[in-house]
Amino acid sequence: TPHCVRGCRPSLTRGRRVARVSCPCFIDTHPSFPLAMPAGGQRDAVLARGLSSKVPPLGERWTHDGQTFGDFLGASFRRYYEWAAKAQ
């Protein structure tokens, strides 16, 4: 899953520097898990909250209620690579 990881702040480790690779822990969703809108939610409202100039629009990656996590992840990777190529 695309993500950002930062090293731990020395102020939290009594001055010791801890590399971001020291304690990796990844929790991922099963590819067949269906992504569902929260009860009472409306797609337009959900998509409007995800607007950012730094990431591809959510509506281009999450195409429908019930889309599997695997399909969403594949669409996200494709859009991020297309997004990055346009920026160059």
Cα–Cα nearest to 52, from 79, 88, 85, 71: 79
Query: What span, in angstroms and rounded, lies between the C-alpha atoms of 28 and 47?
Result: 22
Query: pLDDT digit string (tens) for 13-65?
Result: 787 777 666 556 667 889 999 999 888 988 888 888 767 777 888 888 999 99
pLDDT value for 68: 97
What is the token pair recorded at 26? 């990844």
